[in-house]
Amino acid sequence: MQISEAESVVMDVLWQRHPLGADEVVSALANAQDWQEATIKTLLNRLLNKGAISAQKDGRRFLYSPELKREDWVQAESRGLLDRLFDGRVAPLVAHFSEQRKLSRKDIAELRKLIEEIDDGQP
């Protein structure tokens, strides 16, 4: 399922707390985005049509909840990024950030720990 960057902002609100009415989503995004209420409602409708969220009638309004799990979306986005930019390989991605000096000492320590954990789990 393809979720645009703008749609992912709305999804983040719903992943953090749900169910929410459109007015609550608008309020949650009021300080973070310079979007009109109509824009947010359009994004909610797009997400609803894609099946990323569901809507349940609550009196005169609808309450929205995510159907797409954040973990599933992150995995698909990560795989897509790796496939598009790095031929599906993680090492060139890390090398890219290393070359651009975007890895802090903490990042490097975490990567070393992760590699050790992966290496220990290998037969």
Residue % of the chain over a pLDDT of 70: 98
Segment 1-10 shows an average pLDDT of 94
| Alpha helices, DSSP H, located in 17-122 | 22-29, 37-50, 70-86, 90-99, 105-121
Strand order in the sheet with 61-66: 20-21, 61-66, 53-58
pLDDT of amino acid 122: 66
Q: What is the pLDDT of residues 16-53, one digit of tens each?
A: 999 999 999 999 998 888 899 999 999 999 999 999 99
Q: CA 46 to CA 1: how far, in whole Å?
A: 12
pLDDT of amino acid 93: 86
Segment 48-68 shows an average pLDDT of 97
Whether the per-residue pLDDT at 123 is higher than 60: the answer is no
Please, what's the b/e burial string for 34-63 (b: 16 or more CB within 10 A of its CB; e: otherwise)?
ebeeeebbebbebbeeeebbebeeeeeebb
Q: How does the average pLDDT of the chain come out, rounded?
A: 92
Instruction: Between 97 and 43, name the one with better pLDDT.
Output: 43
Q: Which residues contact residue 48 at a Cβ distance below 8 angstroms, ignoring those fewer than 6 apart?
A: 54, 55, 64
pLDDT of amino acid 33: 85
Segment 77-92 shows an average pLDDT of 91
| Contact by Cβ (8 Å): 4, 44 | no
